[in-house]
Amino acid sequence: MGIKSLFGFGQARDKPVRNYSNGEYTFNFGRSTSGKSVNEMTAMQTTAVYACVRILSEAIASLPIHVYRYKDGGKEMVCDHPLYTLLHDEPNPEMTSFVFRETLMSHLLIWGNAYAQIIRNGKGEVLSLYPLLPNKMSVERDSNGVLYYVYSRYTDENPNMKKMGDITLRQEDVLHIPGLGFDGLIGYSPIAMARNAVGMTMACEEYGASFFANGANPGGVLEHPGVLKDPTKVRDSWNAVYRGTTNAHKIAVLEEGMKYQQIGIPPEEAQFLETRKFQINEIARLFRIPPHMVGDLEKSSFSNIEQQSLEFVKYTLDPWVIRWEQALKKSLFLPEEKKEFFIKLNVDGLLRGDYQSRMNGYAIGRQNGWLSTNDIREMEDMNPLPEEEGGNLYLVNGAMTKLKDAGAFAKEGTESTSEESEPQQPPDNRNRGGLR
């Protein structure tokens, strides 16, 4: 597809014809400058990429998800809405909510897009949700500018699709969560956009594996004082006895005045370990994961690791949460429901501090009247107290008063005294003390 057709140049504004296929951006995958071929599967074979994808996928999947209704300036949870059971328990008969969200989030992190087929009844209500593979999906527009999706099905991964080949899906039948992109319709794969960093990580792992496969000894030279008739035989016999980790530290026996001279660069001189550590941090930076969450505790301590975890929730997880919430509301609710209902992923549990900090915070809220006993018990996942036992009673410190009422009691006392007796003149002390 050319530049003009990609961005719609030279086409009528009322009849755009554009295609947003994931396959168009596969040029971002491929061979990196390190020589390693990077795609979604090879990238996941590196521990750093796998760890980052797993951390974010499991975090999104483990968050409580609920349906809420706007009410009197606040909100209330709605458990009898059909979407509540689908999102909270079972999106389809084959998956739990955790597995469904984990799968879509992994697609979002690897391919930059997450898709799910929406099965509706005759009234337009959602009955079930089934994940769709992003590398088989393309987004297109018809002659009127309406979006539709084309799914290329060649395997039996979806029980709702009966035929093979290209299957057209309407926009209202697809849940699409796009990642970061340039047009707002298709997200770009983080792995593809950073393929050189991922490729270098793969090259470092392969170098390390090859290093230990050769007995943790780089290549060397066998020197013979004379002329060898068959040098290949000598080399093969040497490798058969001394090559490999199982043959490491064996005592070599050299005959006929032969000498072994190592010519490889030791790993500490090549800074191999430092390079591997840097590449792990590079992948963590790509997904905005704190290094301590992927096993790098070099710069973490008891004093800052909690703060790093809170920053992970605020700056890494929260944008993904908002992306999910808005996409679910846009695709799943009926038009008349969007004004009344919304979906929320609760991250409050991840923002809780240690036990002492929580207790101190509850004490402040209780003493200042904006937390009741049942409010605190709910946040600690405890059963509420009955109303007659004061579970919903809000208290306030009696020593506190409004600023405008400060000193009012003194003013009232002065007024009552003036009404009871006439004001007295101050005594004349000018002639006291013998001074004239």
Measured CA distances, 198 to 38, 41, 47, 293 (Å): 7, 12, 11, 18
Question: CB of 188 within 8 A of CB of 180?
Answer: yes
The 10s digit of each residue's pLDDT in 74-84 is 889 999 999 99
Token look-up 């990642």 returns 179
The 10s digit of each residue's pLDDT in 249-298 is 555 656 666 666 664 555 554 556 677 777 888 888 899 998 888 877 77
Residues whose CB is less than 8 angstroms from the CB of residue 296 and which lie 6 or more positions away in sequence, other chains included: 277, 280, 281, 284
CA dihedral 58, 62, 66, 70 (to 10 degrees): -70
Mean pLDDT (the chain, rounded): 78
The 10s digit of each residue's pLDDT in 111-152 is 999 999 999 998 899 999 999 999 999 999 988 889 999 999
| Per-residue 3-state assignment (H helix, E strand, C coil) for 210-236 | HHHHCCCCCCEEEECCCCCCCHHHHHH
The 10s digit of each residue's pLDDT in 404-416 is 776 665 566 555 5
* pLDDT recorded at residue 15: 38
Percent of the chain predicted with pLDDT > 70: 67
